[in-house]
Amino acid sequence: MAAEARVSRWYFGGLASCGAACCTHPLDLLKVHLQTQQEVKLRMTGMALQVVRSDGILALYNGLSASLCRQMTYSLTRFAIYETVRDHVAKDSQGPLPFYKKVLLGSISGCIGGFVGTPADMVNVRMQNDMKLPPNQRRNYAHALDGLYRVAREEGLKKLFSGASMASSRGMLVTVGQLSCYDQAKQLVLSTGYLTDGVFTHFVASFIAASGDKPPPTQGGCATILCQPLDVLKTRLMNSKGEYQGVLHCAVETAKLGPLAFYKGLLPAGIRLMPHTVLTFVFLEQLRKHFGIKVLS
């Protein structure tokens, strides 16, 4: 008798990422604040204290609507493409994909997801950074949709995709590290026969993916270091008011602040990475288990 299994619906990745974002948003906000400093004046703890003292504890959740909008574009797209194509190809080949195909699929999914999520990512960056600006320079977006509308109306549709090349490149690296490595780690853990397909297995596999966030040999969080310059340039381009003429000009201006300028916000980015990845996959597996599409395996 065939066993019953469940597969994800195409939008589960976006929902799971939203759940994780609600838990890790304060770290994302601090990362943006640190990355947009022209000079290194405050570290992570000092920045957190300054935000709380000046605007209250809830200020750590400024821009949450834009963060959720980003997850429902960027993460939903990359998860939907990756899981839909993976399940289709695996069904035809009667077995799991080899790791190199997972890496290729993760790269394509992340690139497309990064591009699709760029407008929401821009509004997310601006809303998070708004409180740091003088009152007369604040954009004061009411919520994510208001931000998207005002950018398109006031600065043009093209502006919504500022930093898209950096976002797409970063999306490729992160998606390979998260989705491809999680899939492979889960497959290896289950193949040992010691663990079943349960919460503990999902936690272990997601922890492995978060620890490396990139295929071997760059384990130990190296992808965070590799992605950080792209993330800094993306954030600066999205938060700019026309002072940069393009990616190269932004890179040159950032380099004038010293090589460490490309690694601003590295600590909160690194700290956020692991819980965000773990929570995303734990939430995803629970959604799949309770609400997924039933199939015979």
Give whole-number Cα distances, 102 to 90, 166, 167, in Å: 11, 22, 20
The whole domain housing 100 covers 4-296
Predicted confidence (pLDDT) per residue in 28-77, tens digit: 888 888 877 766 566 778 888 888 988 889 989 988 999 999 999 999 99
Strands 4-7 and 293-296: antiparallel
**Residue 214 pLDDT greater than 70, yes or no:** no
- What average pLDDT is seen over the chain? 84
**Residue 215 pLDDT greater than 60, yes or no:** no
223 — pLDDT class (breaks 50, 70, 90):
low
The domain that holds 252 is classified in CATH as 1.50.40.10
115 — pLDDT class (breaks 50, 70, 90):
very high
**Residue 237 pLDDT greater than 90, yes or no:** no
Q: Looking at the 3D structure of the chain, how many domains does it have? A: 1
**What is the DSSP track for 238-287?**
HH-SS--SSHHHHHHHHHTT-GGGGGTTHHHHHHHHHHHHHHHHHHHHHH
Predicted confidence (pLDDT) per residue in 250-266, tens digit: 888 888 888 777 777 66
**Residue 15 pLDDT greater than 60, yes or no:** yes
**Residue 225 pLDDT greater than 80, yes or no:** no
Cβ–Cβ under 8 Å, residues 248 and 216: no
Mean pLDDT check: name the lowest of 157-161, 217-221, 278-282.
217-221
Mean pLDDT of 99-108: 93
